[in-house]
Structures are given as structure tokens and as C-alpha cells.
Amino acid sequence: MAFVMRRAAFTALFLALFLASCAVNGPRALAPSPSRTAVLALPQPVPQPITRTGPAAQVAWLWTFTPDRKQSLIGVDPTGAVVAQLDDSIFTPATQVSRSADGTTLFLTTATEIRAYSALDGKMQRTYAKPIGAVASTASSADGRWLAMLTSGPDAKVQVIDLRTGVSQTVAAAHDPNAKLLGMSGQTASVVWGTLAFAPDSLGLFALIDWGGPTRLTSFTLANDKLTQIATAVDGVDGRQFPSCAGPAVATKVLPTNELVVFCHYDGAVTIFELTKLTLARNGVVKPSQKNPFWLSPIFTPDGQLLYLHQSPGFGDEMQVIDLASRRILGPVPTPTRLADPGPFSWLMPIANAGGTASTQPISPDGLTLYSASDNGLLVLRVPDLKLMRTIAAGVRFGEVWVSGDGLTLYATSDNGKRLLVMRHDGTSKAVAPTGDIGGFVASERG
């Protein structure tokens, strides 16, 4: 089951992988924070249009687990009502669940098919065939038309489905059977560490495969409704030097500047690739401060200008920010907790507590507000300087936050996953206590 893995589940993996990571990557110098006299200004956010306004995009979907480890997916609407539940009977170890970029659909993949469920009421809408092989990654286009899937196996494949017509196209995905999968042993030739990402125009598709080394980046296009491979580039081939990531999780975003940003959860490194039509090249590497694997959670601003990296309260409650255009990193600085405090990056102005390996990126759809689920309330922070604007439910210890598609409802776990607090923009709120513990959200943008 490919649901959000909690820190406790990663503990053994940390210990097994840590020495191996050091051996592969060697010691690395952390980028120092610039002094306050540095000539540097964070860009002002570009307000983004709010497009996910339909009812389905406002329903939060969460994993829940009962004491006997049965799992369910529940849908909770802005009134706090549980509107749907998908129970344990439909899940198998091969099942993976994802949410469409427009927030309207849940995709559940099995060994043989893909099932599409309405995010509004949980009703199954359609099924699609899939290639043989475990699913390594899924991605959906911003316009809601395409669903892409990367399957593992010696014959790894990229499949793209036109969700309007059901027409499927599949191409081979190059994969090194001897790629490094640190911490794993046994027969690993059929295992692929890979992820897919769509460009903002919904026509470009990019596959990052074998990031344990040798890293491979491949670009595709869906121009004229046909899936076509454009270019591929591999670490060590034609003089390219692509960094590797020693852990099984990365987060990606394709920027409007035609660049791919890759965040490695294991060591916190951020790699930027240039995505030209025929050339794929590394365009920069930024190395934030991360004391232990998986301590940072990435939050990309919707305009593609900034990447916030949050270290959660249990590990220091600090924030770093990367200006993706200048490749400059600032911080770490403490997350503000008092209204009277200036934003930690306010000295850079010319005029987020996201959890560990988070299941969401808690930022408003217009890109102007970041929400921090702290041990003492939900903090509302202004982008880009993170000035604390207000605190919601002070005194409550929150876990993770999901922001509805229109930005008018906040869903936050509390009470160590025992409750869900649903908070509306008009100040009303409702506490929901589902059967079982909450394990995380199903969100289109994972942290």
C-alpha cells in the first residue's frame, strides 16, 4: 500500500541507509545563510488564479487505521460531514491511491486496472487498463485531461491515459537493472525508483528514474494528443553529472521557467534541471541544512518562485527558503510564534509547519499564505517573509494541514491523529472524530 509513511516507519530505514549514504555522497558542506547586509530580496508572490472551485475539490480525503490495522479512506466535506468511505475490502498490498491535480478524482490502482472515484462522494466512475508491473509513480495534468503512470519491472513503462476518451498510450521507460537502491538487497532488477511530473501546460511530461544512481531524466510530449519521447539524459553519459538521492522518496515540480526542481528527502539536496526541447542538463544544486534524513518537508509556492523547507516542531521547528531563480538559500530560522514578531525573512523585503515526510503542501491556492501546524495552534504566515498574521485554535497541537481547492476551508489533524478539525474562512469550525486513527491526507501535491 502506497500511502503516506510516517517517521516511525522510517526509523529503521534511516539507520540502515545513513552510513551507505555517507559512503556514496561523502561529506558535504552546508550552504551558509547570507548575512543581513547581503544584497538580496525575496521576490514578491505572484497571485495565482483559483481554478479548483468545484464541490469535489473542497472535500478532504484521509487514511484511517483501526487498532486491528484495517484501513479506510474517508471523505470529509467543508461542513465536517463524512460524505464517503472506501473500506479495507478494496485495498491490497499492490494498491496505490492518488488524487488528480484538479482535485476532482481519486485514482486507485490495482495489479490489473485503474479505478477512478469521484472525490465528491466516493462513487466509482470508470476503470482503465494498466500495464503489468507495480506502480512506481502517478501524475495527472493540471487541465484534468491526462493521467500518467510509471510501472516497475525489467520492462518498465510510461503509460498515459486520456481521461476524457479512455484512450491509452504506452512507451518503454529506459531503466538500468543495476541501478543503486541503497538499503535494499535481493532481486532488485525489477524495482524502479522513479517519479513523473507534468509541465504547467499539461503537454510536457518528465520522468526521473534511477535517482539512486545512475540518475536518468527523460522528456515526453503530448502535442497533437500523441505520447512521444523527446530526449533522455543519464548521469555519466556525454559528460553529464547528475546527482543521486540515497532514499526512496523525492518531491518534484516543473516550473514555468521550463526547469524541473527535485527535492531529495534523504539529504535535503535540491537539484534543478534545465528542460529544453532536446537538451536535459543540470542547472544547479542547492544543499540546505538537514541534520537527519527526512526532517525537512518541501512547500513550493504556486508561482514557482520559492521553495520553503520546514523542519517540524519535534525537531526544532525551523524554516529555510530557496529563491529558485537565484539559487540562494536563506535560513534556517525559527518559525514565528507571536504576532508581534516580524517575519523571519522580513529583512529581505524591498518595501511553514508542514510536518515531516508530509502528505500535503499547506499553502493557499493563490500562493499568498502558508499554514504551519504547530504544537500551539495553526499559524497563518504571509508569503514570502512568513510574518505571522494570526493563530487559529491556539493551544491545540496540530499535525498536518490540507487546504481546500478554493482556499476557503482548512482541514488539520490534531490529538495525535485522533481528530480532524475543519475550519471555514468565516471562522466556524467543527471537530470530526473518525473511526480509527488518521494516517494522512490523499493530496494532489505531496510534501
* Sequential DSSP letters for 315-350: GT-EEEEEETTTTEEEEEEEPP-STTSPPTTGGG--
CA of 30: how far to CAs of 294, 299, 310, in Å? 16, 20, 16
- Domain presence at residue 44: no
In terms of residue numbers, what domain contains 278? 132-293
Q: Give residue 342's pLDDT.
A: 65
- Domain presence at residue 360: no
Q: How many whole angstroms separate alpha carbon 73 and alpha carbon 4?
A: 12
The three cell numbers locating residue 116: 477512478
Q: How many whole angstroms separate alpha carbon 171 and alpha carbon 5?
A: 30
Q: Give residue 291's pLDDT.
A: 85
Q: Give the sheet arrangement for strand 328-334, strand by strand.
A: 296-300, 306-311, 318-323, 328-334
CATH of the domain at 272: 2.130.10.10
- Name the nearest CA neighbour of 298 among 326, 275, 266, 328: 266
Q: Give residue 94's pLDDT.
A: 74
187 in helix, strand or coil? Answer: coil
- Domain presence at residue 279: yes
The total number of structural domains that make up the chain: 1
SS (H, E, C) 33-84: CCCCCCCCCCCCCCCCCCCCCCHHHHCEEEEEECCCCCEEEEEECCCCCEEE
Give CA torsion, residues 411, 201, 262, 42, to 10 deg: -70
β-partners of residue 328 are 323
- Domain presence at residue 67: no
- Domain presence at residue 206: yes
The three cell numbers locating residue 218: 527523460
- Name the nearest CA neighbour of 175 among 198, 150, 199: 150
Q: Give residue 354's pLDDT.
A: 37
- Domain presence at residue 214: yes
- Domain presence at residue 163: yes
Q: Give residue 20's pLDDT.
A: 35
Cα dihedral 156, 203, 104, 400 sign:
positive
Tens-digit pLDDT string for the chain (447 aa): 433 333 333 333 333 333 333 333 333 333 333 333 344 589 999 999 999 999 999 999 999 998 887 889 999 999 999 999 998 888 877 788 999 999 999 999 988 899 999 999 999 999 999 888 889 999 999 999 999 999 987 888 999 999 999 999 999 998 898 899 876 665 566 688 999 999 999 999 999 999 999 999 999 999 999 999 999 999 999 989 999 999 888 999 999 999 999 999 999 999 999 998 677 989 889 999 988 888 899 999 999 999 999 987 665 678 999 999 999 999 888 877 666 666 666 544 333 333 346 899 999 999 999 999 988 999 999 999 999 999 999 999 999 999 999 999 999 999 999 999 999 998 899 999 998 899 999 999 988
Q: Give residue 10's pLDDT.
A: 36
Q: Give the pairing type, strands 318-323 and 328-334.
A: antiparallel
The three cell numbers locating residue 110: 490495482
- Domain presence at residue 281: yes
CB 62 within 8 A of CB 434: yes
